[in-house]
Structure formats: C-alpha cells, structure tokens
C-alpha cells in the first residue's frame, strides 16, 4: 500500500495558485501563489496572525479555500490526504499512552510498516518508550511527534513551528531528518519564526494582506 519514501515521492511537486482564505469574515491571505519543487523546503514566515498556520491547514485539506487551488503532481492515484504529514501546534498525542504505543498507533493510522525501535532510538526516546506521554517534557513530546514523520513515509511534510520546545540536539535531529527527507525526493513546508536548520526558499506572509514570494 505504502511504498518507500523515495519511490512514493519520485516527482512530487506542489503548486499553489492564487489562494484566497477568509476566516471569520477576515481575509487571512489572498492571491497567494508559490511552487515547491521536489527535494526542496519552503519556509513560511510572517508576523503573528499572518496566516502561516492557516496556509498549512489549507494545504493539508483541513481548511477550505475560498478561491484558488493547491495542486500536487506526481502522486499517481494516491489520495492527497495520505501523501501529507501535518505536525501541528498540538502534538496529537494521548497522555495515557506510552511513547511506544503512541508511535505504533500513529503508524497504523497513517500507514507504513517499518520497525519503530530504530526511530525511537534516533529521536532519543528509547528510555521513554514505555513512559506515558503525560510524563514526557514538551521537547520530548515534540520529538515523538516528529518521529511520526519517520514511522509513516509520506512525501509531503507540513510542519507548524517544528522547532518549538526542541533543544539544540533536537534541532540537529530535525536537520538530519529533513535533509534525508529532501534527499529522498520529498518536499517540506515549515511555518516558523526561527531560522530553519536546512536552507530553502522563503515565503513571507504579511498580516491580513497578500503574501509575496521572496
């Protein structure tokens, strides 16, 4: 069902065409166009309320567009939602499940069949594997959320503030997994206020106004 990350994302390319998003009667962004080529990262920047999270939610299909379209090429007959990873503000983890259980559930939900122990080891969560998520620190939870990206290979990563709560080692881990993902032909879009550890294009959103690609 799910092929390896490289094959699944052979030639994935995303283009957004004149996107308009209105929420609560307020125009979040309008006439927003950009393209993201395979193996590249797009950093979305802008002040609070500029619509960075809304843009990611639009691409993930969680939020409806008022005009425009997001096109993803190279998915074949795979449904768009199953090609996308979305790491949101909230980590999407159940406090009562252990870290290992949470990751195993996520893999069964989102697809993928690789072993999980190496992923937990890579994210530095071996000792926390049997610990309920409610006892993990914010940074450890973030690492566990990022571990989902590795457990279920999907060509498109949408990351909302991926570096929040991560320590220096965690940021380095994020750099490593991002570089590997991009080298495998995937693409990533990250909304952030920080400097991303991997070089890429930048899209600047202005508050309540049209954005412009830089």
Partner 1 sequence: MTPILALFRRDLTLAFRVGGGPWLALAFFAGVILLVPLGLGAAPGQLAAVGPGLLWIAAVLAVLLSLDRLFQADYEDGSLEQLLLADAPLSLLVLAKCAAIWVTTGLPLAAASPFFAIQLQVDEEIIPVVALSLLIGTPALTLIGAVTAALTVSVRRGGLLLSLLALPLFVPVVIFGAGAGAAAASGLPYGGALMLLGGLSLFFLVIGPIAAAAALRLHLS
Q: Where would I find the H helices in 72-132?
A: 99-110, 117-122
Residue 78, Cα to own-chain centre: how many angstroms?
A: 18
Rounded Cα gap, residues 154 and 173, in angstroms: 18
Report the nearest approach of partner 1 to the CB of residue 7 (Å).
17
Query: How buried is residue 201: exposed, middle or buried, by Cβ count under 10 Å (0-12/13-18/19+)?
Result: middle
Q: Does 26 bind partner 1 (CB under 8 A)?
A: no
Q: Which of residues 40-79 bind partner 1 (CB under 8 A)?
A: 57, 60-64, 79
* Terminal CA-CA length for the chain: 38
CB closer to partner 1 out of 66 and 122 = 66
Choose one: 5-13, 97-105, 172-180, 184-192; the region binding partner 1 (CB under 8 A).
Answer: 97-105
**Least distance in Å: CB of 92 to partner 1?**
4
Q: Toward partner 1, which CB reaches closer, 26 or 212?
A: 26
Q: Which of 66, 101, 167, 209 binds partner 1 (CB under 8 A)?
A: 101
Does 110 sit near partner 1 (CB under 8 A)?
A: yes
**Residue 214 C-beta: closest distance to partner 1, Å:** 28
In the complex with partner 1, which residue's Cβ is closer, 61 or 114? 61
Alpha carbon distance 164, 53 (integer Å): 14
- Closest by CA to 104, choosing from 85, 81, 130, is 130
Cα–Cα distance measured from residue 15 to residue 27, given in angstroms and rounded to the nearest whole number: 21
**Site residues (CB under 8 A) for partner 1?**
1-2, 57, 60-64, 79, 81-82, 84-86, 88-97, 101, 105-106, 108-111, 148
């Amino acid at each position: 069902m799910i092929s390896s990350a490289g094959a699944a994302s052979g030639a994935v390319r995303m283009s957004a065409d004149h996107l308009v998003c209105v929420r609560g009667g307020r125009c979040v962004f309008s006439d927003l166009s950009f393209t993201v080529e395979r193996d590249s990262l797009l950093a979305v920047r802008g002040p609070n309320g500029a619509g960075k999270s809304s843009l990611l939610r639009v691409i993930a299909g969680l939020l409806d567009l008022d005009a425009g379209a997001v096109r993803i090429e190279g998915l074949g007959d795979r449904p768009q939602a199953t090609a996308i990873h979305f790491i949101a503000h909230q980590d999407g983890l159940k406090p009562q499940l252990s870290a290992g259980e949470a990751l195993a559930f996520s893999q069964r939900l989102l697809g993928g069949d690789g072993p999980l122990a190496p992923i937990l080891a890579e994210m530095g969560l071996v000792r926390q594997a049997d610990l309920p998520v409610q006892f993990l620190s914010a940074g450890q939870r973030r690492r566990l959320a990022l571990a989902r990206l590795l457990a279920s290979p999907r060509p498109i990563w949408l990351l909302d503030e991926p570096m929040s709560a991560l320590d220096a080692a965690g940021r380095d881990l994020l750099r490593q997994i991002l570089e590997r993902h991009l080298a495998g032909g995937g693409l990533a879009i990250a909304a952030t206020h920080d400097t991303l550890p991997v070089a890429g294009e930048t899209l600047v959103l202005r508050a309540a106004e049209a954005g412009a690609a830089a």
